[in-house]
Structure 1
Amino acid sequence: MRQSLRLSALFSALALVVAAAGCGGSGDSSSGGKGLEKDTVTVAALPLADNVAVYIAQREKLFEAEGLKVQIKPVQQSTQAIPALIKGDVDVIAGANYVSFLQANEKETLKLSILAEGASLTSHMMDVLVMPNSRIRTPKDLEGRRVAVNILNNVQSLTLNSILTANNVNATRVQYVQVPFPQMAAALEKGDVDAVHLVEPFTSDVEKKLGARVAVDGGAEPVTNLPIAGYVGTQDFTKKNPKTAAAFQRAIFAAQKIATTDRTRVESVLPTYTRIDTKIASVITLPGYPSSLVTNRIQRLVDLMMESKLLTKKPALGAILFRPTTS
């Protein structure tokens, strides 16, 4: 079994444990001396490493330096917060998986605004596991097999199909079966599926309990460094509150730089809002933490979604990616 543990962020149904400490109060009063449209931003956040920056920014008082108070509301799935986002009860969703939100934008469920990138895919963030005696040993062996994913037609199948195609595998012959992450171990052990596509901490748990082994690195080329999750709001919010949105973006970018350059600060924050203890936090494989919002990176994901028919038309990224007009 690999010595390192891995964590995804984008797509996990991890149980909620600890709400963020030190959250600000609610209210829309103007920020003292900063000239912001509102000084309190409510953020729905998942208990994942994908959005550790919002917690780092809170702890390091990066929001405070921008004249912001941030109220963090934990959620289990980013899509659960969409109704609150539309109503304005939540201003930003942290750790929002791009696939679901770009699809919601296309369906006009909401007019999406991406304020900052949150996480990019790294090697072994997601893995396809099989039982130790399985005949599946290469990507090619997945043809004609049943593979469990948490959500059908989302980032897991999107990225795995890309990896399979790059390895001359007919991805259309893979049968995806929807199984919640916590139930995948039982499904694999019973033989209900031939393989499971897992994220941490489920990956290590299944490896330990079943002796499962890795058949495919879910973060391998050609999807390595693919953007998978970010900080999103609505275009209505960013248009009405451009200075507030810009202040939030600057704080997140600063926190992303900390996460990239100082792993110890990530390790110290993770146990405060996830089920990851200090020991595990010290060894898990983290996602990438981009500290800028680059059109070409998001376009790469859009192109992949178009190829996979998860989008029917290219979104207007110029309107979706938030670009501050004030400092």
Structure 2
Amino acid sequence: MTGLALGLGVGLGLFVALTGPALAQAKIQIGCTATSDCASAMVAVDEGIFKKHGLDVEMTPIAINSNIPAAILSNSIQVGGPTSTVFLQAVDGGLDLVAIAGASVMNPTSNTAIAAFVRNGITINEPKDFVGKKVGAPGLNAFLHVLFVKWLVEKGVAPKSVNFVEVTFPTMADIIKSGGVDAVLTAEPFVTRMTNAGIGSVGARYGAELGRTDPIIFYAAARDWAEKNVATVKKFREAIAEAAAIVNSDRDKASNSIAKFTKQPLELVKATPPNQSEPNLKPENLAWWIDVMSSQKMLQSKLDTAKLVLN
């Protein structure tokens, strides 16, 4: 928590310094990592849906999901797409963030796309084979990491017996190939891309084994900004709902936007269904994550779900 607190403290200081002029800006920067989870925002930008709703929006790539809360509070971005786990830990740490709209949720398709990808030369036949291995996660305490730890616990493996390090999505293939880590926690289209490159294989489909339907990523903002921009948040939600319908029904449009933002080959993105977009987020949707994180001793306080989602 020391590193997190330091990073967030810097974010808070910058936020205080920049709040005044930021509130007068019409442009909204949305920060997300290079996955399909923020596809609704990507489509809303590319298809002119935000503009139709009177919003001037740009997408900003964020390398590590756990950096998003500090980016929001430093006003580098006004809206971010943190994973449920990153958001909850940031709020637990004292940051006044609030969810303003849903982005993606787990479902059978997205769960199957999640994997622990293992480099050549490493054999994983069962969960206990991860003991002593160096495993890269795209954000410690972020979605894929917490989900994997939950899976290890359910399989009777002590998470502390695994050495976790942070590895960004774009660098996973190079780090796996070089032997810098034994495995990475990743998802499509990165799984297919690394498989096709012949640098390793899937060691576990842990998302599918857990089989959950909870939120993966949602759009969040500083509570102060959201409450002072109620009309903007309303337009944002309407635009995201319109774009989510496209993501869930038009593979071509969704794939084009995802490929453009993530800089992944279009043919590879088209081969992988995007995560299901669910714009409606309710406080109770976060209850399972709170239980899981509490069991992993990631939360120090008792969070009130009613205060986590903007009315």
Q: TM-score, normalised by structure 1?
A: 0.76
For residue 130 of structure 2, what is the amino acid of its counterpart? L
Relative to structure 1, the CA distance from residue 309 to residue 242 in structure 2 (aligned partners, 3 Å threshold; closer, same or farther) is: same
Q: Mark the CA change 1:40 to 1:189 in structure 2 (over 3 Å): closer, same or farther.
A: closer
Instruction: Quickly say closer, same or farther: Cα 1:244–1:150, change in 2 above 3 A.
Output: closer
Q: Which has more radius of gyration? A: 1
How many residues are aligned here? Answer: 287
Give the drift of 1:87.
4.2
In structure 2, the residue matched to 1:115 is 100
Q: Evaluate the alpha carbon distance shift between residue 124 and residue 44 of structure 1 in structure 2; reply closer, same or farther with a 3 A threshold.
A: same
**Which residue of the other structure, out of 229, 242, 252, is the alignment partner of 2:230?**
242
Task: Determine whether 1:208 maps to 2:196.
Answer: yes
Whose helix fraction is larger, Structure 1's or Structure 2's?
2
Matches of 2:64 and 2:119, distance apart in 1: 28
Letter in 2 for 1:214: V
Which of 76, 79, 85 aligns to 1:92? It is 79
- Tell me how far apart the structure 1 counterparts of residues 181 and 70 of structure 2 sit (CA, whole Å): 34
Alignment of 1:177-256 (within 5 A): 177-181=164-168, 184-185=172-173, 188=176, 193-256=181-244
Which residue is equivalent to 2:30? 43
TM-score, structure 2 normalization: 0.79
Q: CA deviation at 1:132?
A: 5.3
Q: In the aligned structure 2, how far is the partner of 1:303 from the partner of 1:99?
A: 11
2:91 is aligned with what amino acid?
Answer: N
Letter of the aligned partner of 2:62 in structure 1?
V
Deviates more, 1:239-248 or 1:184-193: 184-193
Mapped contact 1:148–1:177 kept (Cα < 8 A)? yes
Which range is displaced more, 255-264 or 137-146?
137-146
After TM superposition, list the pairs within 5 Å mapping 1:10-21 onto structure 2.
none
Q: 1:189 to 1:91 in 2, by over 3 A?
A: closer
Between the aligned partners of 2:178 and 2:259, the Cα distance in structure 1 is 33
Task: Show structure 1 runs of 5+ residues with no match.
Answer: 1-25, 30-37
Cα contact 1:147–1:195 (8 A) shared by 2: yes
**Which residue of structure 2 lines up, in the alignment, with residue 32 of structure 1?**
none
- Judge which range, 267-276 or 239-248, deviates more: 267-276
Distance 1:44 1:195 in 2: 27
Quote how far apart the aligned CAs of 1:237 are: 1.1
The change in CA–CA distance for 1:148 and 1:42 in structure 2 (over 3 A counts) is closer
**Aligned residue type for 2:101:** A
In the alignment, the residues of structure 2 paired with residue 76 and residue 61 of structure 1 have an alpha-carbon distance, to the nearest angstrom, of 25
Computed over aligned residues only, the root mean square deviation of the Cα atoms, in angstroms, reads: 2.9
Task: Return 221-230 or 81-90, whichever deviates more.
Answer: 81-90
Corresponding residue of 1:72: 59
The sequence identity of aligned pairs, in percent, is: 23
Residue of structure 1 equivalent to 2:295: 307
Q: 1:147 corresponds to which residue?
A: 135
CA distance 1:133–1:41, change in 2 (3 Å): closer
1:260 match = 248
Equivalent position amino acid for 2:221 in 1: G
Per mean C-alpha deviation after superposition, the further-off stretch among 250-259 and 169-178 is: 169-178
Q: Which runs of 5+ in 2 are unaligned?
A: 1-20
Assess if the C-alpha contact under 8 Å between 2:124 and 2:130 holds in 1. Answer: yes
Shift of 1:51: 0.8
1:253-298 Cα deviation digits (max 9, x unpaired): 2211221122222012223222122211210242221131122322
Contact 2:29/2:78 (8 A) holds in 1: yes
Q: Which residue of 2 aligns with 1:18?
A: none
| Structure-2 residue corresponding to 1:165 | 153
- Give, in angstroms, the shift of residue 114 of structure 1: 0.5
CA deviation map 1:147-192 (0-9, x unaligned) = 33343343333111222333x3223364123152466556656666
- On the 8 A contact 1:43/1:92 being kept in 2, the answer is yes
